[in-house]
Structures are given as C-alpha cells and as structure tokens.
Amino acid sequence: MKQDLDRLMAERNLDAIIVEGPDGFANANPDFTYMTNGVSLTGTVLKRRGEPAMIVYRAMERQQAAETGLTMVLYDRWNMREIRQASADNFSAMVEHRRRMLTDLGISGRVGLYGTVRAGPFFAIMVALAQQLPNFEIVAEFENDLFAAARLTKDATEIARLRDIGQKTCEVVQAVVDFIQSGHAHEGIVVDAAGTPLTIGRVRALIGRELAARSLSSPYGTIFAQGRDAGMPHAEGDDAAALQLGQAIVFDIFPRDQAGYFHDMTRTFSIGYAPPELQRTYDEVLGAFDYVISELEAGAPTKPYQDMVCQYFEARGHDTIGRTSPIEEGYIHGLGHGLGLEIHEDFGFPSGADRGDVIVPGAVFTVEPGLYYPSKGYGVRIEDTIYCTPTGEFESLTPFPRQLVIPIH
C-alpha cells in the first residue's frame, strides 16, 4: 500500500525516488498514476524518504496538479526560457533544468528510477545527469521493485474500485450472453430475427457500447476467439466470423476504469451444445480451477500452485509448460498474475525460476488455468480475479457462473 513507501524505500536503502510522467503515456504509466492518485497530467513526481511526495507540473496543468494532493512545484520555478537562452541546444537545456530541479529539491544519494519513458531521450538525459551531479547514484531496480512491492497490497479504496469494476465487467459478459440468446440456431450458426448472422464483430460492437455505458474502456481490446483462434491465448478473434454452434469460444475481457484500475476475467462458451471432447477438456480446466481455489492459502508461495496445476493436467494426459518449454499445445502459460493499475502486475505463478512470490493479504491476482489445442480447433480458459482479504480469506471479484454451454433456440 502507498503508506508502505517509506518503509520499502528504507529496506532498499533508497534516499529518494524519481517517477517520470512524460506527455503521452497517461494510460500506460501505472507507477506515476499511483503517485498522482489517478490524476492525469504531465510532470515528474519526486520524493525523499520520509518526506511528502512532490509533483513538478506545468502552469497549464495547475488544476490537475492541485488534484493530486501532492506538494506542488512549478516546472518554471527554474525558468526554462532563460535556461534555453544560456544553453548550447535543447538537450543541454533539458539536462540543466533537471540538474537544478534535483539539486534544489534535494534529490540525491541513492535514487530509484520509475515510470514510463521514451527509451532514447530518457537514456540520454540520465547518462548526462549522472555525469554532472556529484552525489547522485542511479538505482535501477529490475524486478520486485519499490512500486511492485507497494502496489502488491491494495487498500480499502482500491478494493472498492476493483470490486465495482468486476461487477460491471460481469454485467457486460451477461449482456453478451443475452445477445447470443436473442438469436436462434440456423444451419450451424446463430442468426437474428431477420436471419442475419450474429458475427463476432457485432458482439465486439456490443461489448464496446456496454463498456462505455459503464464508463469502462478496453485499451488492450477484448478476446472473443472461436474455434482454432480459441486455441491461441492471444488471438483476438475474427470479426467477420459468424457465431457457430458447438465451437469453443474463449471470451477474455480486461477493461479499465477511469482511475486506471483493471479487471480480468475469462469464460469459455459453446453455443447450443458442446462436443464431447470440448466438454471433457472444459471439465478438466474447471477441475483445475476449483482445485486451485480450494487450496489457496494466505502466506503461501505461488510457485507450488503452478506446479500443482501442471501435475493435475499431466495426470490427465496433457503436456505442460512445467516439463516442456517452449510449448505450443496443452497448458502453456502461468496460472495467473497480479492486477490493479496494470493488467499484468509484477506478481505471478512461475513455471521457470521462482522469484519467491508469496500470496499476501491484500493481494489481487487472477487464477486462469487453460488448455490449448489449435491443431484440434479449440482451446479453453477459465479466469477469475481473486482478492486475498486482510484476514487471509479469498474472495472472487468475478461474480459470474462458470458454465460452458449457452442454450439457444
């Protein structure tokens, strides 16, 4: 949680942090968004250990800067026009502006770097600054960094948001089921009253409207993948295709709310009926899902859950990433991932090297076993977003039934 930042900085021996918030990344800068309390603006957050965080903002965004609740520092406190006139070029001016800013605000010692940036300019500026500042050691954390640790546990405000977006996401999925059931079967596909096929494109348009009506967006799209596409975890689905009876449909939806928080859920459907092989595979995936949920325990390391699912599937004749890598069919990915201000946060259930991730109270993560057989024309995944409460219980934030077949007239 945010209140842990000073303690976590002390653990990492960080004297200060810089969280970059350059223009154009408002929706893709979770650490910056975390610090600005969800307010979108261009700027830089600076914080010395034990002191309040500061936002360096432009005059044009005074109002947004005030909304962050952070200590406000105007960018032009170091007059950029004057600095430019005294500099050889814009690059030198940018470095000089930043040098003055860091010096005057006391950002020195061991300094952690965070935020989303443009690779080239950021690299150039930091290399130049490191040369010019006497007491400035860049600490570039690689994984399980300060923000991953802070953001891993959600506070009550965040949980309220995550619960709300989960509820709304389920409403959107229900609207899709209702839409499918508003059609009827005709020669192996679903058509509307006028006889026009219900296509994946029409479903996707409906999803867009239903999300918008709930002030949700889908910045990374939505997976609605049928048949062979359902066998490829990242295939989005073919908008031109009509909905077919008896085909696996993997419907994976991961919308974002206006403050930047995500939900992530997957249901696998088969319209009208399910062929026996698909039903059997579905039952195995659901079995794995239920097994994991029943075994979840606060304080437990994550890796054994991934191993457990691999063994579960291997015992049923499936290849898994636990014994084969790279792998293209069978159980081919990790069991889940942390989520919050990112769909994929820095927490997982690894098959490879164990980083020591542990399920701590306050964590929010997905559980999403799946089996993929593109060569056989199907795939199955079932996914809920799960919350480990402060008292160590587990709550699904995805209140939606897990049922394969959508009956249809």
Give residues 251-310 in contact with a second copy (rule: CB under 8 A).
none
* 234-251 b/e (C-beta count within 10 Å ≥ 16 → b): ebbbbeebbbbbebbbbb
Task: Decide whether 13 or 389 has the Cβ nearer to a second copy.
Answer: 13
What residue type is 357 in one-letter code?
D
> Site for a second copy (CB under 8 A): which residue of 10, 66, 86, 140?
140
For residue 367 the two structure tokens come to 């559980």
Torsion of CA 106, 111, 112, 116, to 10 degrees: 60
Whole-number Å distance between alpha carbons of 205 and 217:
13
Shortest distance, CB of residue 24 to a second copy, whole angstroms?
Answer: 6
Question: Is the separation of the CB atoms in 176 and 211 below 8 Å?
Answer: no
Which of 85-93, 246-254, 375-383, 391-399 is the region at the interface with a second copy (rule: CB under 8 A)? 85-93
Number of residues lying near a second copy (CB under 8 A): 79
> Site for a second copy (CB under 8 A): which residue of 7, 69, 86, 209?
209
Which of 114-122, 176-184, 264-272, 288-296 is the region at the interface with a second copy (rule: CB under 8 A)? 114-122
> Site for a second copy (CB under 8 A): which residue of 4, 6, 141, 164?
141
At which residue do the structure tokens 């030198």 appear? 92
> Site for a second copy (CB under 8 A): which residue of 35, 54, 136, 145?
145
Interface positions, 323-342, toward a second copy (CB under 8 A): 325-328, 332-333, 342
Task: Decide whether 215 or 389 has the Cβ nearer to a second copy.
Answer: 215
In sequence order, what are the beta bridge partners of 406? 271
> Site for a second copy (CB under 8 A): which residue of 84, 100, 184, 316?
84
Task: Decide whether 63 or 174 has the Cβ nearer to a second copy.
Answer: 63
Which of 154-162, 163-171, 349-357, 389-397 is the region at the interface with a second copy (rule: CB under 8 A)? 349-357
> Site for a second copy (CB under 8 A): which residue of 115, 183, 227, 336?
115
Question: Is the separation of the CB atoms in 273 and 408 below 8 Å?
Answer: no
> Site for a second copy (CB under 8 A): which residue of 2, 202, 316, 344?
344
Interface positions, 59-78, toward a second copy (CB under 8 A): 59-64, 74, 76
Shortest distance, CB of residue 294 to a second copy, whole angstroms?
Answer: 28
Shortest distance, CB of residue 1 to a second copy, whole angstroms?
Answer: 20
Element housing 247 (H / E): none
Interface positions, 117-136, toward a second copy (CB under 8 A): 117-127
Residue 179 is a binding residue for a second copy (CB under 8 A) = no
Task: Decide whether 128 or 308 has the Cβ nearer to a second copy.
Answer: 128
Pairing verdict, β 364-367 and 405-406: unpaired
Interface positions, 351-370, toward a second copy (CB under 8 A): 352-353, 355
Question: Is the separation of the CB atoms in 370 and 376 below 8 Å?
Answer: no
Pairing verdict, β 136-139 and 249-253: unpaired
Shortest distance, CB of residue 218 to a second copy, whole angstroms?
Answer: 8
Shortest distance, CB of residue 407 to a second copy, whole angstroms?
Answer: 29
Whole-number Å distance between alpha carbons of 190 and 192:
7
The number of beta carbons lying within 10 Å of the beta carbon of residue 381 is 23
Interface positions, 6-35, toward a second copy (CB under 8 A): 18, 20, 23-30
Shortest distance, CB of residue 2 to a second copy, whole angstroms?
Answer: 18
The number of beta carbons lying within 10 Å of the beta carbon of residue 199 is 17
Instruction: Give yes or no for a cis peptide into 304 (omega within 30° of 0).
Output: no
Q: Where are the beta strands (DSSP E) in 120-240?
A: 136-139, 184-186, 189-191, 222-226
To the nearest 10 degrees (0 to 180), the angle between helices 200-213 and 156-182 is 140
The CA-atom distances, in angstroms, between 62 and each of 34, 66, 211 are 19, 6, 31
Interface positions, 216-245, toward a second copy (CB under 8 A): 217-221, 232-235
Task: Decide whether 183 or 322 has the Cβ nearer to a second copy.
Answer: 322
For residue 99 the two structure tokens come to 């040098």
Task: Decide whether 20 or 284 has the Cβ nearer to a second copy.
Answer: 20
> Site for a second copy (CB under 8 A): which residue of 10, 13, 86, 90?
90
Whole-number Å distance between alpha carbons of 84 and 313:
63
